[in-house]
Amino acid sequence: MTTIGLPHFLIVGAILFALGMVTVVTRRNAVGILMGVELILNAANVNFIAFNHFVEGPDRLTGQVFSIFVIVLAAAEAAVGLAIVLAIYQTFRTIDVEETDLLRE
Amino acid sequence: MGSAPRRDARRSVVQGLLRVAAMLVGFLVGSRRRGARLASGRPLGLVTLLVLYLSVTLFIWGLNGFAFRKLPLSGIALLLFSAAAFGVLFLLGYLLGAVAGPFVADAATTIIPYVKLADAIFYLFAVMTVAGAGGCAFSRNIIYSAWSLLFALLGAAGLYVFLGADFPAVAQVLIYIGGVLVLILFAIMLTKQIGGDPKLTNAHLGLPAGVALAVVTVATLTYTAVMAPWKEVAQRGWEPTSARLGIAFLTDYLLPFEVASVVLLAALVGAVVIARKEIKETGDTYEETPSGAAR
């Protein structure tokens, strides 16, 4: 039995990514799609930090810096995306992405 | 007039204590006999069987005061019920003690020396993350999806701690769980259909296609992760990284840091502007709201 290494974390990241992709593909609710995007970003973060720990070494911190940027941009994306979802809801009275196919009111 | 309820209350207290005592006595007697039988491995005698049956009956009578009160057991019903329960327990005990017990003990003595605490913690966090993500992907109710996302994010934060990244873990908990998840819950609550049913469930269009996509992705990425010759460096102990992270942000990564802060400012101002438009519109043109519902 081996100890926990890099492939373990990469596999967790892969499963997270795939489940996030399933969420994005199968949901028709705009908020659900945004949650899938959050899962995908988390998968990327797990990979960044795992590579930082196992490949880059503890002396350099590029992976962790990048993960912080990803978290910051995810926050910005969530704020703007959910505001857009609210605006769409005010216009169309629904957030089903297959029904909101008009650029005008 | 006030004495009757008080007497009832006192009697119920006494009865509850009596039932607790019966449960304790039944449990102690039964477990001691069982323990002796398990330790010796001899077949059960008639007296032991009777004592076990009586202890099960006592335990069930005591439990009846608390657990399944809709069905008060007494007399023949109690004896029959406890006989049934005793039969089930006897079968279970026989299976556990004679069949599964040696197997489990054998397996445990083989496996336990190889399991380290760190590995167990990693698998705990990994299972939490994957289960949360699975709930987020496959739950029919979108509020359950949001709560599953909470577990996925918490598990990912635990994985960050496991990898020696303390500051990203704290940022994950603060920003994702404290900010993004609350925003998502707000959006779910605010976008309920106002008249009629809240449209919380979503049609699972293309779920087989999505699952196939996920299987292919996981297989490919896992193959890459396992087979690729990663150049791993030697591991050292864990040490806090936030101080070095702050220095890195203000020296090597100063320009991306400032750009990210500008992006955050723009995003928040934009979000306020976009979300504020609705208030103005509903305030100005109240009559036009039904016509705005273009389908």
Chain A CB contacts of B172 under 8 Å are: 45, 71
Q: Give residues with Cβ within 8 angstroms of B216, minimum separation 6.
A: none
Q: CATH number of the domain that A24 lies in?
A: 1.10.287.3510
Beta bridge partners of A29: A96
Residue B20: CB atoms within 10 A of its CB come to 14
In a domain, A99, yes or no: no
Read off the tokens for B42.
Answer: 């001899």
Taking residues B230-236, report their average pLDDT.
77
Tell me, yes or no, if B244 comes closer than 8 A to chain A by beta carbon. yes
Chain A CB contacts of B246 under 8 Å are: none
Chain B CB contacts of A73 under 8 Å are: 260, 263
Structural domain boundaries enclosing A88: 7-92
pLDDT tens readout for residues A32-82:
889 999 999 999 999 999 999 888 877 788 899 999 999 999 999 999 998
In a domain, A17, yes or no: yes
Q: What ipTM goes with this model?
A: 0.90
- The model scores a pTM over 0.90: no
In a domain, A43, yes or no: yes
Q: Which of A39, A47, A31 is nearest to B149 (CA)?
A: A39
Interface of B with A in 248-277 (CB under 8 A): 248-249, 253, 256, 260, 263-264, 267-268, 270-272, 274-275, 277
Size of interface A-B (CB pairs under 8 A): 262
Predicted confidence at residue A2, as pLDDT, reads 59
Do residues A56 and A27 touch, judged by C-beta distance below 8 A? no
Chain B CB contacts of A103 under 8 Å are: none
In a domain, A88, yes or no: yes
In a domain, A28, yes or no: yes
In a domain, A100, yes or no: no
pLDDT tens readout for residues B172-204:
999 998 889 998 888 888 876 533 344 444 455
**Number of domains forming the structure of chain A:** 1
